[in-house]
A and B are shown apart, each in its own frame.
Chain A
Amino acid sequence: MNFVLPEIDLGAIAPQLWLTATAILVLMVQAFVPLVTSRSLALLSIIGSLLSLVATLGLWGQEAVLFSGMIALDTFSLFFNVVFLLGAILTVLISVEYLEREQIAHGEYFALVLFATVGMMIMAAGVDLIAIFIGLEILSLSLYVLAGFMRQVLRSNESAMKYFLLGAFATGFFLYGIALLYGATGSTNLDRIFLIAGERGGWGNVLVMGGMGLLLVGFGFKVASVPFHMWTPDVYEGAPTPISAFMSTAAKAGAFAAFVRVFLYSLPGLAASWAPLLAGMAVLSMVVGTLLALVQRRNIKRLLAYSSIVHVGYLLLGLLSGGTEGGASVLFYLLAYTFMQVGAFAVVVYLGGQGEDDLSLARFSGVAVRHPVAALAFSLFLLSLAGIPPTAGFVGKFYIFSAAIQAGHIGLAVVGVLTSVVSLYYYLGVIVFMYMRDPVDLPERRPSAALVTALALAVAGTVEMGLFPGSLLDLAQQSVASLLGS
């Protein structure tokens, strides 16, 4: 047998390698260096993430397919690397204070966040279903542990258990889909699947259709779209708050990266078949998510969980529109969403007391009097999530809906606009509590420097992307164009 070494270029996966090395270092330092504080581990994690970011920017513009057609280096994956790293850095920043308050300041936490980020990067760069699957597993396994990180708290255990069981099922669906596509095309490589599925697609071909449908279920679960969303509120409620933020932004972006790559790049030939399914998922996510978010008063984390389902609906709409415009609107929205969603969770971290026994909206009564800056920032994030003009959320929604209209999905765009009008009710509800109710007794606390930094970053990102979206949108378009080759 002839043996040929696969082409290996470690420089092309430098961002992943930096993060992996940092994660291992964090793990070792916390195990072997006595008395190391979680703050210094957080600092180490952020330095590693920044190195990875520098490596990502250094690779910008290069294109290659490496490791025997497993990993692609293109602007698409690099753009997503930036989103993931941003999500990871913000998560680490808002975690520091939270971990100390909840007395779960173990170093494994940061290592797991970094490992999860590596998984997302592999998902975004994978051009083979096996590579995507491995990335998905690295991401999911880290998140299962992180969701249950508050070992003494029943809610957190419930969260981890639910996420793990349902996630395992979703993984099964995903893997079965890969198996069927392999059976139909004889390859797990996205290029080959594109060639063969394109000529053999159609409802007549059970294997291709079944494989595609099962992949859709797997992705649908990972991004938490209706009807695969049942786990979302319980998991987000029970998980540590920074991890809820991480799961709803970066992890979702990771799943969307692979979603876009597989469906827009590899299976566009079957668009006639998956478009109706995706349209159904998008409409259901928008409508069901909005209706359920309307009645969430008991827990702000559940409110944000349902609102994240609505946002997945918008993102699916962008994906459905397809082409450079649709894909770019998804990328832009994911970046904007990372800023505003992590920002909102950062305020929840700041205002929630130890143990977070009470996160009902009533707790936020009169916050504006005691913590005016936090209230102002929270209002900004909520208005951005609702899509009010001078914010990132508005611009993101605008691009998604205009891409949908250009692609001829006018009915879906109308549903999107209507649900975002309705969503104003529950976002404004929180603001009403903060500004128009009498203040309740909140413990007097000073936010840590890390939390302030994270809030400042999130505010800056939300405003910047709202006021000057042009250059970032160009970047998103270039990234998708590099993927679709147009």
Chain B
Amino acid sequence: MEVFLRGYSALGPYVPVFLFIVVAVTFGIVTLFIAKLVRPHRPYPEKLSPYECGVPPLMEARERFFIRFYIIAILFVLFDVEAAFLYPWAVLYGKLGLYGFIEMMIFIGILLVGYFYAWRKGALDWVKEG
């Protein structure tokens, strides 16, 4: 491995990652291969159906989704990310002090503006009126 990385010292810390990938891939392949050697081979229709959990499949999975799910999903991602940013702020709250507090309020305020906008435009109504 060192031979390939000569001249790229910045990549040094990634050597464990490369090793991890190699081990992971090898483990998967070897397990599947050994299982194929030792397991019994008795296929029947129920076993071959996509989800073997007792419920017969009803229809194709490739359905058209209601477009409103998309807006809800986007709004969810927005506030999910906000929450992700709130965590490190909360952990370091004591060290950041008042400055950090004001910064975070501005950040939340900007997101709230987007929230009010979406609300006002009816993005939160499941059935749109008018």
Contacts and interface: CB of A to CB of B under 8 A. Distances in A.
Interface of A: 3, 5, 24, 27-28, 31-32, 182-186, 200, 205, 207
A37 B104 CA distance: 33
B113 A184 contact: no
B22 interface: no
Given A3-B95, A5-B96, A28 B117 contact: yes
Interface string B110-124: 100100110011000
A183 B13 CA distance: 11
Interface of B: 7-11, 92, 95-96, 99, 110, 113, 116-117, 120-121
A184 B10 contact: yes
Contacts of B10: 182-186
Contacts of A200: 7
Interface of A is mostly: helix
Given A3-B92, A5-B99, A32-B120, A24 B113 contact: yes
Contacts of B116: 28, 31-32
A205 B110 CA distance: 44
A3 B113 CA distance: 31
Contact of B113 (A27, A185, A207): A27
A27 B7 CA distance: 51
A455 B92 CA distance: 54
Contacts of B95: 3
A5 B121 CA distance: 38
B117 A31 contact: yes
A24 B110 contact: yes
Contacts of B8: 183-184, 207
A258 B113 CA distance: 30
Contacts of A183: 8, 10-11
Interface of B is mostly: helix
Nearest to A111: B117
Contacts of B120: 31-32
Nearest to A31: B120
Nearest to B120: A31
Contacts of A184: 8, 10
B1 to A, nearest CB: 15
A186 B8 CA distance: 9
Nearest to A27: B117
Nearest to A196: B10
Contacts of A32: 116, 120
A166 to B, nearest CB: 22
A27 to B, nearest CB: 6
A134 to B, nearest CB: 14
Given A184-B10, A205-B7, A28 B113 contact: yes
Given A31-B117, A31-B120, A31-B121, 20 more contacts: A3-B92, A3-B95, A5-B96, A5-B99, A24-B110, A27-B113, A27-B117, A28-B116, A31-B116, A32-B116, A32-B120, A183-B8, A183-B10, A183-B11, A184-B8, A184-B10, A185-B10, A186-B10, A200-B7, A207-B8
A162 B94 CA distance: 48
B78 to A, nearest CB: 13
7 contacts: A3-B92, A5-B96, A28-B116, A31-B116, A183-B10, A205-B7, A207-B8
A24 B120 CA distance: 14
B93 to A, nearest CB: 11
A200 B116 CA distance: 51
A401 to B, nearest CB: 41
Nearest to B117: A31
Interface centre among B8, B99, B116, by most A CB within 10 Å?
B8
Nearest to B14: A183
Contacts of A27: 113, 117
Contacts of A28: 113, 116-117
A27 B114 CA distance: 9
Nearest to B113: A24
A205 B9 CA distance: 13
A24 B112 CA distance: 11
Nearest to B97: A5
Nearest to A187: B10
Contacts of A24: 110, 113
A186 B9 CA distance: 9
A192 B29 CA distance: 42
A119 B122 CA distance: 28
A231 B28 CA distance: 43
Interface centre among B7, B96, B110, by most A CB within 10 Å?
B7
A317 to B, nearest CB: 34
A195 B128 CA distance: 57
B104 to A, nearest CB: 13
B121 to A, nearest CB: 7
Contacts of A31: 116-117, 120-121
Contacts of B9: 186
Nearest to B114: A27
A28 B95 CA distance: 34
Contacts of B99: 5
A200 B99 CA distance: 42
B115 to A, nearest CB: 11
A182 B9 CA distance: 12
